[in-house]
């Protein structure tokens, strides 16, 4: 049975969301889950769930916890943290992958250090998966792992993101674009302009520059950018969704007529919320590390955790890393490596 390790102490609602997500995953996905964290705490939480003892769930003890307030360097000093122990289970082959809703910087550093990189990969990249008008999700890569990028790194992100879109999100021939500020090839900053010929030379369905507004149209499946720009794009989106929810709520509550309108249309709202809910997409994969590492939002609920476990399993079954290695070596590796240095 495929085994996925879960950092039970990572998120803002740990270990509640993690344990409940693990229970749902073990019950419905046919995977075994290792809950990694402080044994007593996790055991107590697990006991809240009826029938959990008969599910394929095991607790693996880890005495330390990395909090959101810890610096990224905590991954070095806290050698027995739940996220580090989870990554170690992957390195040792006990688990096929691990999922964490902990401190993003610390999870990335841990996975890189403990699991190592897929052969040919220069830098791992965090792939954000976002909803679109068309219904098919879009992959934005990188959303925060690499602040300063070379053209060669962007080309590698394109290759990794394309494979992820094709295998996990089941897009038949993913359209790949580069995030810029105009459609023509010469528009953009130094990095995007230098990356352009390199991306055109790859064996991808590359459509050139795309703009910020194209993220949500569904007209592109993979959007490549450096981690600074990608992180800004992601956080701007989060902030705007929060504002929209807040303002809609306020406007609806303002009068009694609207209150009736609100009650009647609330099914529509929960519909809508589900369609833009990140938790349906199960977190952001860190592409390019050996094994599997899925990083969830700190605020992840049980549904998000369950979906992240599902994605980790599919990632492993889809042999994504083997395909990344092959693709980088066979068709594009030399080209990218030469340009990148």
- Footprint on this chain of a second copy (rule: CB under 8 A): 131-133, 144, 147-148, 179-181, 188-190, 211-217, 227-229, 231-244, 246-248, 251-252, 254-255, 257-258, 260-269, 271-272, 275-276
Pairing status of strand 32-37 against strand 3-7? parallel
Nearer of residues 50 and 190 to a second copy, judged by Cβ? 190
Residue 319 CB, nearest distance to a second copy (Å)? 32
CB of 321 to a second copy, least distance (A): 27
Least gap, CB of 184 to a second copy (angstroms)? 9
Which of 131/291 has CB closer to a second copy? 131
Q: How far apart are CA 308 and CA 6, in angstroms?
A: 10
Nearest CB to a second copy, comparing residues 143 and 308: 143
CB of 307 to a second copy, least distance (A): 20
DSSP 65-116: ---TTS-TTHHHH-TTBHHHHHHHHHHTTSSSEEEE-S-HHHHHHHHHHHH-
Q: Give the nearest distance from C-beta 306 to a second copy in angstroms.
A: 24
Q: How near is the Cβ of 106 to a second copy at its closest, in Å?
A: 13
Contacts of 55 (CB under 8 A, 6+ apart): 23, 26, 27
> From the CB of 293, what's the least distance to a second copy, in Å?
20
- Output phi, psi for 255, to 5 deg: -135, 165
Nearer to a second copy, 298 or 318 (CB): 298
Measured from the CB atom, the residue of 53 and 213 that comes closer to a second copy is 213
Here the tokens at position 315 are: 């990632």
Q: β-strand 284-287 against 32-37: which pairing, if any?
A: unpaired
DSSP annotation of 64? B
Residue with tokens 């590698």: 156
CB nearer to a second copy: pick between 71 and 322: 71
The distance in angstroms from the start CA to the end CA of the chain is: 42
Which candidate, 57, 258, 225, places its Cα nearest to that of 138?
225
33 C-beta neighbours (distance < 10 Å), count: 31
Nearest alpha carbon to residue 286 among 100, 86, 120: 100
| Least gap, CB of 125 to a second copy (angstroms) | 14
Residue 96 or 229 with smaller CB distance to a second copy: 229
Measured distance CA(140)–CA(215) in Å, rounded: 8
Tokens read off for 145: 């792992």
| Residue closer to a second copy (CB basis): 213 or 341 | 213
* Euclidean distance between CA atoms 317 and 296, whole angstroms: 20
């Amino acid at each position: 049975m495929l085994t996925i390790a879960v950092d039970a102490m990572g998120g803002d609602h740990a270990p509640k969301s993690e344990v409940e997500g693990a229970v749902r995953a073990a019950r419905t996905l046919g995977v075994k889950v290792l809950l990694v964290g402080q044994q007593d705490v996790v055991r107590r939480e697990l006991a809240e769930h009826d029938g959990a003892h008969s599910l394929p769930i095991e607790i693996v003890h880890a005495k330390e916890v990395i909090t959101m307030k810890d610096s990224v360097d905590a991954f070095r000093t806290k050698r027995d943290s739940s996220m580090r122990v989870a990554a170690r289970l992957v390195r040792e082959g006990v688990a096929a992958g691990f999922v964490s809703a902990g401190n993003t910087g610390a999870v990335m550093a841990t996975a890189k250090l403990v699991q190592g990189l897929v052969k040919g990969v220069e830098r791992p990249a965090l792939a954000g998966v976002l909803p679109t008008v068309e219904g098919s999700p879009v992959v934005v890569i990188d959303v925060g792992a690499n602040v300063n990028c070379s053209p060669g790194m962007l080309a590698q992100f394109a290759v990794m993101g394309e494979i992820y879109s094709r295998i996990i999100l089941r897009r038949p021939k993913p359209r790949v674009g580069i995030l810029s500020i105009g459609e023509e090839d010469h528009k953009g900053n130094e990095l995007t302009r230098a990356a352009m010929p390199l991306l055109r030379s790859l064996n991808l369905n590359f459509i050139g520059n795309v703009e910020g507004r194209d993220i949500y149209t569904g007209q592109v499946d993979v959007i490549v950018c450096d981690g600074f720009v990608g992180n800004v794009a992601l956080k701007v989106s989060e902030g705007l969704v929060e504002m929209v929810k807040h303002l809609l709520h306020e406007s609806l509550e303002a009068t009694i007529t609207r209150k009736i309108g609100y009650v009647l249309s609330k099914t529509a709202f929960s519909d809508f919320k589900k369609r833009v809910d990140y938790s349906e997409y199960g977190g952001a994969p860190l592409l390019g590390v050996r094994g599997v590492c899925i990083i969830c939002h700190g605020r992840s609920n049980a549904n998000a955790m369950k979906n992240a476990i599902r994605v980790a399993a599919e990632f492993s079954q889809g042999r994504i890393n083997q395909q990344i290695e092959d693709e980088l070596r066979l068709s594009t590796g030399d080209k990218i490596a030469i340009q990148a240095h």
